[in-house]
Chain A
Amino acid sequence: AQSVAQPEDQVNVAEGNPLTVKCTYSVSGNPYLFWYVQYPNRGLQFLLKYITGDNLVKGSYGFEAEFNKSQTSFHLKKPSALVSDSALYFCAVRDGRGYSTLTFGKGTMLLVSP
């Protein structure tokens, strides 16, 4: 079975500081990894994905994530946080072999203070 762990319910960071939202995963085959963001009263929006290739992937709004196979992690990062980045962030994984559904973590609330 595949699973995702987001160990932090909430991450607090000051505007202008770097941010990291952690994600670890478990999957039998090759992992396909995704980050989504949810703003209040809205649906989830796709940020970025890792399928294969370069371990550092860049996505929307200046976010990036680093795939680390040995640590089974896919942490989301941004060099300089904005207040408008405050939202709920979800990590997701699927097994790259054949058909499998997308499994989400429980989400991490990011709060960026002015």
Chain B
Amino acid sequence: EAGVTQFPSHSVIEKGQTVTLRCDPISGHDNLYWYRRVMGKEIKFLLHFVKESKQDESGMPNNRFLAERTGGTYSTLKVQPAELEDSGVYFCASSLQGAFNSPLHFGNGTRLTVT
């Protein structure tokens, strides 16, 4: 089966610009998660979709971040306007079962650099 794919793999933008990250989960996986890792730090949870609904968005840093999953398939994460502290690697993951009991399947991540 095709794995979780993320696009782009790298993005370099200037402070104040907008960036949109995309994630295509494994087909049939209703659960989709976004995580972020700042260099050398923990991988932080951002939010969790079940199909097209937001199950948990408690990890979203602020209202500059907007996640969508229209139709319950792929998801986008938009950062507008970007700030320097938004730099990091953004991971998307999906799973067949929710509640985090089943293993998460991760994409390769998008490395975002805000200059």
The distance in angstroms between the C-alpha atoms of A74 and B112, with both chains bound, is 32
A22 touches B (CB below 8 Å): no
Which of A13-21, A41-49, A65-73, A77-85 has 4 or more CB atoms under 8 Å from chain B? A41-49
Contact B103 A41 (CB under 8 A): no
In the complex, chain A residues whose CB is within 8 Å of the CB of B55:
99
Q: 1/0 contact trace for B33-48 toward A, CB 8 Å?
A: 0010000111111001
Contact A43 B106 (CB under 8 A): yes
B58 touches A (CB below 8 Å): yes
In the complex, chain B residues whose CB is within 8 Å of the CB of A32:
100-101
Q: Which of B48, B100, B106 contacts A44 (CB 8 A)?
A: B106
The distance in angstroms between the C-alpha atoms of A32 and B3, with both chains bound, is 24
Interface residues on A, range: 20 to 34
B108 touches A (CB below 8 Å): yes
A101 touches B (CB below 8 Å): yes
In the complex, chain A residues whose CB is within 8 Å of the CB of B3:
43
Q: 1/0 contact trace for B1-28 toward A, CB 8 Å?
A: 0011000000000000000000000000
Decide yes or no: A90 and B43 within 8 Å by CB, A43-B91, A101-B59 being known contacts: yes
In the complex, chain B residues whose CB is within 8 Å of the CB of A103:
42, 45
Task: Tell me the A67-114 residues at the B interface (CB within 8 Å).
Answer: 90, 94, 99-107
Q: Which of B4, B42, B45, B103 contacts A101 (CB 8 A)?
A: B45
Decide yes or no: A44 and B91 within 8 Å by CB, A34-B103, A101-B59, A102-B104 being known contacts: yes
In the complex, chain A residues whose CB is within 8 Å of the CB of B99:
99
In the complex, chain A residues whose CB is within 8 Å of the CB of B106:
36, 43-45
Q: 1/0 contact trace for B60-84 toward A, CB 8 Å?
A: 0000000000000000000000000
A56 touches B (CB below 8 Å): no
Contact B100 A102 (CB under 8 A): yes
The distance in angstroms between the C-alpha atoms of A43 and B45, with both chains bound, is 15
In the complex, chain A residues whose CB is within 8 Å of the CB of B48:
101
Decide yes or no: A42 and B45 within 8 Å by CB, A32-B100, A32-B101, A49-B103 being known contacts: no
Pairs A-B, 5 closest by C-beta atoms: A43-B106, A46-B103, A104-B43, A44-B106, A101-B45
